[in-house]
Amino acid sequence: MEKTWNNKAWFLVLPVVVLVAFSAVIPLMTVVNYSVQDTFGNNEFFWAGTDWFSEMLQSDRFWDALFRNLIFSFTVLAIQIPLGIFIALNMPKHGIGVPVCLVLMALPLLIPWNVVGTIWQVFGRVDIGFLGHYLRVLGVDYNYTQDPIDAWATVIIMDVWHWTSLVVLLCYAGLVSIPDAYYQAAKIDGASRWSVFRYIQLPKMKRVLLIAVLLRFMDSFMIYTEPFVVTGGGPGNSTTFLSIDLVKMAIGQFDLGPAAAMSIIYFLIILLLSWIFYTVMTSHDAQS
């Protein structure tokens, strides 16, 4: 659609700008403030320059958490995106099955995140949990509180359980927008199941898939509550992701300088990745 140039439109966006500036810019400036200052208490601050940043970038603790977080994000994306597409392709398109599927599948999305953690903490326990109990019965030596691999598996399965539905719903929305005529044409041409997917369904889902990847990457990169409730970042530090580490540093140990420096590095990483995604998405828009 052709848009007209009109700077008065700023009046329409003004409330949003004021509100978000209050919620985002002022707090962010506080963080910047802390990241360049040091204190010995008594509210006396002095200039520390980039000390905290260089300290943070040289600490193994930060890189380990970043590395763990990246592995986590890519693992959940690698599972959720194909699984979500697969489930969406097999969803019913008509009848009573549609609302039933939609309502039941959306259910995990609306459970508070710490309750999601609680559900899986209980579900995985070897003494009282369904999963832990039956894995033991099957002879699997499973204990997420002691074994780092089990802890990782639990956290990843939990995230798949929690968020795959978002990918399913997005893909399903893309699929139902395809007119029936496309499929009839494909049938006349004798197209195989694969080529229907490759040349009709996938292109239609491209846009929603980009959104799904974007949202899933960002949210998994910021994950805090669910693994914190299930594993508390342990055993050891094996499931300590960036946000968990940050909260531990800022609120647990009250190391405001390093925590603020880490916040800014963390935020810059996310900003960079968002910018890449955004550029890809808008250039995709321009093409279509």
Partner 1 sequence: MSTHIKPRWSWIVPTIYIVFLLLPIYWLVNMSFKNNSEILGAFSLWPQNPTVRNYMVIFTDPSWYNGYINSIIYVVMNTAISVTVALPAAYAFSRYRFLGDKHLFFWLLTNRMAPPAVFALPFFQLYSAFGLIDTHIAVAIAHCLFNVPLAVWILEGFMSGVPKEIDETAYIDGYSFPRFFVKIFMPLIASGIGVAAFFCFMFSWVELLIARTLTTTAAKPIAATMTRTVSASGLDWGVLAAAGVLTIIPGALVIYFVRNYIAKGFALGRV
Site for partner 1 in 39-78 (CB under 8 A): none
CB of 46 to partner 1, least distance (A): 19
| Number of other CB atoms surrounding residue 217 within 10 Å | 18
Nearer to partner 1, 36 or 175 (CB): 175
- Contact range with partner 1 by CB under 8 A, out of 39-47, 141-149, 160-168, 230-238: 160-168
CB of 164 to partner 1, least distance (A): 8
- Identify the CA nearest to 246 among candidates 273, 228, 230: 228
Regarding 234 and contact with partner 1 (CB under 8 A), the answer is: no
Q: Per-residue x/- marks for partner 1, 89-128, CB under 8 A?
A: xxxxx---xxx-xxxxxxxxxxxxxxx--xxx-xx---xx
- Contact range with partner 1 by CB under 8 A, out of 71-79, 88-96, 148-156, 231-239: 88-96
Vertex 276 angle, CA 274 and 278, to 5°: 65
Q: Per-residue x/- marks for partner 1, 163-182, CB under 8 A?
A: -xx--xxx-xxxxxxx-x--
Regarding 5 and contact with partner 1 (CB under 8 A), the answer is: yes
Binder among 38, 70, 222, 255 for partner 1 (CB under 8 A): 222
For partner 1 (CB under 8 A), the number of binding residues is 107
Regarding 205 and contact with partner 1 (CB under 8 A), the answer is: no
- Contact range with partner 1 by CB under 8 A, out of 24-32, 39-47, 58-66, 72-80: 24-32
CB of 140 to partner 1, least distance (A): 16
Distances (CA, A) of 283 to 68, 279, 280: 31, 6, 5
Interface positions, 238-277, toward partner 1 (CB under 8 A):
242-244, 246-247, 250-251, 256, 259, 263, 266-267, 270-271, 274-275
**42: exposed, middle or buried (Cβ count in 10 Å: 0-12, 13-18, 19+):** exposed
CB of 68 to partner 1, least distance (A): 15
CB of 26 to partner 1, least distance (A): 6
**85: exposed, middle or buried (Cβ count in 10 Å: 0-12, 13-18, 19+):** buried
Say if CB 263 and CB 271 are below 8 A apart: no
Regarding 7 and contact with partner 1 (CB under 8 A), the answer is: yes
**145: exposed, middle or buried (Cβ count in 10 Å: 0-12, 13-18, 19+):** middle
Binder among 36, 76, 87, 155 for partner 1 (CB under 8 A): 87
Nearer to partner 1, 93 or 198 (CB): 93
Nearer to partner 1, 20 or 78 (CB): 20
CB of 138 to partner 1, least distance (A): 14
**Residue 82 one-letter amino acid:** P
Distances (CA, A) of 151 to 139, 154, 233, 239: 18, 5, 9, 7
Say if CB 155 and CB 223 are below 8 A apart: no
Distances (CA, A) of 144 to 15, 96, 249: 47, 39, 24
Binder among 39, 50, 59, 184 for partner 1 (CB under 8 A): 184
- Identify the CA nearest to 71 among candidates 254, 223, 235, 272: 223
| Number of other CB atoms surrounding residue 240 within 10 Å | 22
Query: What is residue 202's three-state secondary structure?
Result: helix
